[in-house]
Structure 1
Amino acid sequence: MTRPPFEPVTERDIRIVSAQLGRPARDVVGIAARCACGAPTVVSTKPRLSDGTPFPTFYYLSHPVATAAMSYLEAAQVMVECTELLAADAEVADAYRRAHADYLADREQFGHVDEIAGVSAGGMPTRVKCLHALAAHALAAGPGENPIGDLALERSSWSPDVCQCPDYGVDEEPTA
């Protein structure tokens, strides 16, 4: 199941994402998921950045509270548990392989990059390497599409349904 194209990215979105990341946002092609308040939570990034760098992480978790929640889970060794689950549960492993294929198909719509062909994110399709990337994919794809991303979101203290956004310090877009 492929998701793009995304709704157009606004200048305000870019200002918020830049504030979230603490650096200028690069080569954003869409907002793949939003907080309950409408702020970007997951950005989609070109597979080759403007400077020529291959960038495999198509779905990138930008929300600072969500990012902190995933970091907490990683520190609590949840990645180890998830890797063990992949080895023990054939249905989860099959769904994870499908999530990998879907991720690649989504990214491919924005260009083929030989250096990252077949490489998705988060350790897919055989291991769990980064809960941030897997949660980002789960948020973009929706429930049931990435079992490990779903599990990370379920275990986290953060929810996309409850705004926990800090004040990003960006002005509202001018009104006419």
Structure 2
Amino acid sequence: MFTGNFAPRSWLLCHGQLLPINQYSALFSILGTTYGGDGVSTFALPDLRGRVAIGEGQGPGLNQTNLGEKKGEEAVNLTVNNLPSHNHSTNSNETVVVKKESVRSVNMNTADHATVTTDEEGNNEQSTTSYTGNSQPVNNMQPSLTINYIICLEGIYPSRN
């Protein structure tokens, strides 16, 4: 990580750029085509713009993650399936009188926007509330601080032991 707005000499920002294999063969031998490129003449650096780096593997209670795999979303659209099972009650301080042969559905037009349906005797069969909301995505981002990720182009080749 680097807090500057440039990459120091012998380093590059991790912005997913393609590099020639013949010029950076040591780095290619480490990265391969994990982050892109054709593997013949080019390979790509990881693109960490707007991303958080996480470790490869599988921790206790976590899903497997593989090198180069992108996960997560900045925002998600919630559906009814995302919500816990629940119900809503309706309250009104209005009195609704319904004659036996009259309309069976009355919009009480209260702040709760409730509809009450009665049976032929005028007994309450069902009360429902109106839909609300406008299906906007929900922000899913964790608190973050923007810092540049950089990768070294030259230096001591890492040993495997």
TM-score, with normalisation over the residues of structure 2?
A: 0.23
Q: Which entry has the higher C-alpha Rg, 1 or 2?
A: 2
Query: Which structure has more helix as a fraction of its residues?
Result: 1
Query: Which structure has more strand as a fraction of its residues?
Result: 2
TM-score, with normalisation over the residues of structure 1?
A: 0.22
